[in-house]
Structure 1
Amino acid sequence: MHVLVVGASKGIGLEAVSVALRAGHRVRAFARSADAIALTHANLEKRRGNALDPADVEGALDGIDAVIETLGVPVRDLMAPVTLFSEATRVLVPAMERQGVKRLIAVTGFGAGDSRVAINWLQMAPFRLFLGRAYDDKGVQERIIKESGLDWTIVRPGVLVPGPPSGRCKALTEPSQWRNGLVSRADVADFVVKQVTSTQYLRKAPVLVSR
């Protein structure tokens, strides 16, 4: 598959680039700082661009089979209004529909959309204080995706931690199962890349935890 990773320069996006290359996919790594990606591979293309720029996004989608969307904002911006997730998705989704690129795997987080109801009362106050603005926008992002005609999977990791893949990653699909927990970025990347060629979680939004 020819995979576009949006937000590929760091975090889960960068991990997903590595995992996808190891899985034999061709990867177009799209980010404003794509030139700074240290990876080199015959099947890797680094594409500089802005996820909010329709022309950049249209160009990045040329010849693509599936898209992995892994956006993030700096910690320093979390106390201000956050609109990146919804605005970028409002650019990406119609561009994919115009170009006939159907498969979208988008990483949001536990607490986005309807998974917010599973946050316990002890966690809710700090969640709203530090992450509320970002997750309100991720909720809008999820709604845009769910209302599209794409073949989407939304991935909601718990608390992200460093480290190698654990092999214990659980995908919790039922609201009664949803809970917070730790999960490594490597585990999330491994799960996300597997969805490129799987329909197991098609039009589902699992919560990911490993412990």
Structure 2
Amino acid sequence: MAHILVIGASQGIGLATVKAAAAAGHRVRAFARSANAIAVSEPGVERCPGNALNARDIEAALAGVDVVVQALGVPFRDLLAPVRLFSDATNLLVPAMEKAGVRRLIAVTGFGAGDSRDAISPLQRLPFRLVFGRAYDDKDAQEMRIRRSPLDWTLVRPGVLTGGTATGRYRVLDTPSSWRNGLIARADVAQFIVRQIAGADQVGKAVVLISHALPI
């Protein structure tokens, strides 16, 4: 079993990953500014308050861990302003991981980040750009920094996120020709992430995750 640091653990995919990893028997360090308020009952979860933009917090959180899951998000209300969270946090995290000797990084970005932007359908491109453009420009910079690192990284690009429990029925699209948008439950993304903790088949790759339903 691994010791996992989840950055952005208070909600969304981060929180789902904390629960899924703990349920699988891993030790989990749940890192977020509001970590003390995280509602988890699974054993083996350590709440770790900290700021992803504070180098000392990140360095302390990396002590003794084997794997880092970066699952940051910004509130919808902040999408219309300049976004720097993803790249700034990654610019701190990568060298801190190198210094600490932690090699495995699983980073959640999203469908439309990096070279998957070309796979957005023509009908979706304008609204995607208007709403998510600033955030995804920053996710592009995040992915570029990770790709330039010597870490054993995997970039996870989920489609449109939904709630609900894990179905186990999702598609891992690992070639550009297969990339397309679709729905996927956060719990299924977390399930995929937990499977990557011990697996090496997606190291150095970017994958798009969608459910088995028809793409959108």
TM (norm. structure 1) is: 0.99
What are the equivalent positions in structure 2 for 1:8-157 lying under 5 Å apart? 8-157=9-158
Shift of residue 200, structure 1, vs aligned partner: 1.1
Tell me, which stretches of 5 or more residues in structure 1 are unaligned? none
TM-superposition CA deviations, 1:1-42 (whole Å, max 9, x none) = 000000000000000000000111000000000011011343
Structure 2: distance between partners of 1:161 and 1:40: 23
SS at match of 1:46: strand
SS at match of 2:60: helix
Aligned amino acid, residue 169 of structure 1: Y
Aligned equivalent of 2:8: 7
Structure 2 contact 22–43 (Cα < 8 Å) conserved: no
Structure 2 contact 19–42 (Cα < 8 Å) conserved: no
Shift of residue 58, structure 1, vs aligned partner: 0.0
What are the equivalent positions in structure 2 for 1:169-208 lying under 5 Å apart? 169-208=170-209
Shift of residue 160, structure 1, vs aligned partner: 0.3
TM (norm. structure 2) is: 0.97
TM-superposition CA deviations, 1:136-161 (whole Å, max 9, x none) = 10010000000000000000000001
Aligned positions, number: 211
TM-superposition CA deviations, 1:86-124 (whole Å, max 9, x none) = 000001000000000000000000000000000011000
Q: CA RMSD in A?
A: 0.6
Tell me, which stretches of 5 or more residues in structure 2 are unaligned? none
Q: Percent identity?
A: 61
SS at match of 1:206: strand
Structure 1: distance between partners of 2:107 and 2:194: 11
Structure 2: distance between partners of 1:22 and 1:48: 21
